[in-house]
Amino acid sequence: MAGIKAGKLDFDILLSTPDMMVQLAVHGKALGPKGLMPNPKNGTVITADKLADVVGEFKRGKLVFKADSAGGIHVAVGKVSYGGDKIEANVKEMINAIVSLLGKSKEYVIKKAFLAPTMGPSVAFDIKLMD
Asked whether residue 73 falls in the same domain as residue 124, the answer is yes
* Same domain assignment for residues 94 and 76: yes
Q: Are residues 87 and 124 in the same domain?
A: yes
Residues 53 and 103 both lie in one domain: no
| Same domain assignment for residues 70 and 125 | yes
Instruction: Quote the CA–CA distance of 89 and 115 in Å, as a whole number.
Output: 13
Together in a domain, 70 and 55: no
Sorted by sequence, the CB contacts under 8 Å of residue 14 that are 6+ apart come out as 24, 31, 36, 37, 38, 44
Domain count, the chain: 2
Same domain, 71 and 125: yes
Query: What CATH number should be reported for the domain holding residue 8?
Result: 3.40.50.790
Indicate the residue among 24, 41, 59 that finishes a domain: 59
Is the domain of 71 the same as that of 118?
yes
Same domain, yes or no, for 55 and 70? no
- Predicted TM-score (pTM) of this structure: 0.58
Picking from 59, 79, 99, the residue at the C-terminal end of a domain is 59
CB 42 within 8 Å of CB 52: no
Domain span at 80: 66-129
The pLDDT profile of the chain, 131 residues, written as one tens digit per residue, is 666 766 677 777 788 888 888 888 887 777 777 777 888 887 788 888 888 888 888 787 776 777 788 888 888 888 878 888 888 888 888 888 888 888 887 777 788 888 888 888 988 988 877 76
Kindly report, residue by residue over 6-16, the tens digit of the pLDDT: 667 777 778 88
Contact yes or no for 104/115 (Cβ under 8 A): no
